[in-house]
Structure 1
Amino acid sequence: MKAFNDPTSRAYGRLTGAFYFSIAIFGAFAIGYVPSQIVTGDPATTMETLVARRGLYNAGIGADVLVMLIEVMTMTMLYQIFRRTNETLAFAAMLARFGMVAVMGAMLLFQAGLTGLATGEIAASDDIRNALAGLMLEIHHAGVWVWQAFFWMHLMLLGTLVLKSGLVPRLFGYGLIVGSFGYVFDSLYSFAFPEADWFGTLRIGFLAIVTLSEVGFALWLALRGPKDTAPLNPALAAA
């Protein structure tokens, strides 16, 4: 547990980076791969696929839960690293990321409910089951739009802290700030402008920027650790 004692140390920064990078790995599986194998445009087909690949679906839920647990450590440790740069911004960044995780946790309840519908554990006619499944999928999509708003705020604040702190290369800060708009654009594209193909292409570019920036930031912390800085302010250490 000594690695958690000093937020100014390279060991602490490397552990933070390792947690952050593991989110990318498990999140890519849970959020990227599993839905592409299970969810279709038709609720009835989605439920049939879910039953056929229930093990994969449950593994996706398990990976989501693991991501959320790792997120708790990551957001806390990022706060500890950057609070000596600006405690207000660091705390706001942590709360924004917590809001994202809270929404994701609520979304898992609907994913579990979809399992009950698909396996017949919830007694209902096929029409009712399909209608409920469609509703749960729509609520899940809405949840994505909401958590992306929280995550946009977090990345904006984190990028600002990176620029002000001098702990890691400033390039990551610029990438986090600029690329964060990819999440806003993705929500707007899905919710308000689904017919605007140019807008869909634009958001992909920004999402690529933020993905590279996040992964690069995490790897830099994990492999190099933050640059040497002055010891933590005693007043903050006692807080």
Structure 2
Amino acid sequence: MVNFEKNKQFHRKYALTAGIALIIMALAASFSNGYVQGKLVVPNDATVTFNNIISSTALFNAGIFGWLLIFICDVVVAWALYIFLQPINKNISLLGALLRLSYTAVLGVAILNLVFVSLLSSSTDYLFLFGEQQLQTLILLLLEAFHFIWSIGLIIFGGHLIIVGYLAFHSKQIPKIISILLMIASLGYIAIHLFITFLPYFDVMIKTLKVIFTVPMILGELGFGLWLLLQGGKYPIKKG
């Protein structure tokens, strides 16, 4: 009975850690990628994007803070899920954690581009150094570099979700619908961002893939996060 209670508390702690971090990431992504990027960045329009950023520097920097929060939470989730899922298969769980950490490293490189944009737009010295048109073009290029590098990382992230979905499917406690949604989401991330990265001119295909996979991607990750918060670890995770 004592060992059961210890195992229960152990698993519950890591389930809560992963669940809370996943929810924080979802909120931060909605703000930084959804609100800030949607409000300030106008694709293929360097002038409007530049003017939006220099007139809303605090908002843009808040978006960067959100991305840094996502970066930190990704590291926490990789660690917590590795420990939480290792009773199912330790080696596969480790592979999943390494894939997520690899994705996080790529995300970190992508975020640097946003930091450079913030530095370039925060001082008039760069305006005199580069000239207005060149500076606007450079900022738009850095924003595009952020999305390109992040897309490469999301292909790796899709591999991580395959691992998590597989482990979830082979557990007794995690609902099968969540594991299936996670595996569908993983295919969505891989397919969408392979096209965005290597075949960006196939706009119709990219839009079609987003229509097909967006709902499973949201439901899979958010559903797993909520399950971890509400039910994860109440009983020690076991292989089913």
Smaller-chain TM-score bracket? 0.7 to 0.9
User: How many angstroms does 1:221 deviate by?
Assistant: 1.0
User: How many angstroms does 1:194 deviate by?
Assistant: 3.3
8 Å contact 1:97–1:150 — kept in the other structure? yes
1:210 aligns with 2:217: yes
User: Which letter maps to 1:84?
Assistant: P
> 1:24 is matched with which residue: 23, 26, 40?
26
User: How many angstroms does 1:90 deviate by?
Assistant: 0.8
Q: Give a deviation string over 1:88-110, Cα, whole Å, max 9, x none.
A: 21111111111111111111211
Q: Give a deviation string over 1:1-55, Cα, whole Å, max 9, x none.
A: xxxx967433432332122211111121112221001111212221110011111
2:116 equivalent in structure 1: 113
Distance 1:37 1:196, change over 3 A: closer
- In the alignment of these two chains, the number of paired residues is 227
User: How many angstroms does 1:199 deviate by?
Assistant: 4.4
User: Which letter maps to 2:193?
Assistant: S
List structure 1 runs of 4+ shifted beyond 4 angstroms: 5-8
Point out where structure 2 has 5 or more consecutive residues left out of the alignment.
Answer: 1-5
The CA distance in 2 between the partners of 1:21 and 1:134, in whole Å, is 30
User: How many angstroms does 1:229 deviate by?
Assistant: 3.0
1:60 equivalent in structure 2: 63
The CA distance in 2 between the partners of 1:62 and 1:154, in whole Å, is 24
The CA distance in 1 between the partners of 2:168 and 2:117, in whole Å, is 40
Distance 1:146 1:78, change over 3 A: same
User: Which letter maps to 1:113?
Assistant: F
8 Å contact 1:152–1:183 — kept in the other structure? yes
5 Å-filtered alignment, 1:124-135, equals 124-135=130-141
User: How many angstroms does 1:134 deviate by?
Assistant: 3.1
1:237 equivalent in structure 2: none
2:228 equivalent in structure 1: 221
Q: Give a deviation string over 1:123-143, Cα, whole Å, max 9, x none.
A: 321232133223212311211
User: How many angstroms does 1:227 deviate by?
Assistant: 5.3
Larger mean CA deviation between 42-51 and 112-121 belongs to: 112-121
User: How many angstroms does 1:188 deviate by?
Assistant: 3.3
Scaled by the length of structure 1, the TM-score of the pair is 0.86
2:3 equivalent in structure 1: none
> 2:191 is matched with which residue: 172, 185, 188?
185
Identical columns (%): 26
The CA distance in 1 between the partners of 2:125 and 2:168, in whole Å, is 49
User: Which letter maps to 1:90?
Assistant: S
The CA distance in 2 between the partners of 1:131 and 1:87, in whole Å, is 48
1:36 aligns with 2:38: yes
User: Which letter maps to 1:217?
Assistant: F
1:200 equivalent in structure 2: 207
Distance 1:68 1:196, change over 3 A: closer
> 1:15 is matched with which residue: 14, 17, 20?
17
Point out where structure 1 has 5 or more consecutive residues left out of the alignment.
Answer: 232-239
User: How many angstroms does 1:212 deviate by?
Assistant: 0.4
SS at match of 1:165: coil
The CA distance in 1 between the partners of 2:206 and 2:11, in whole Å, is 43
User: How many angstroms does 1:213 deviate by?
Assistant: 1.0
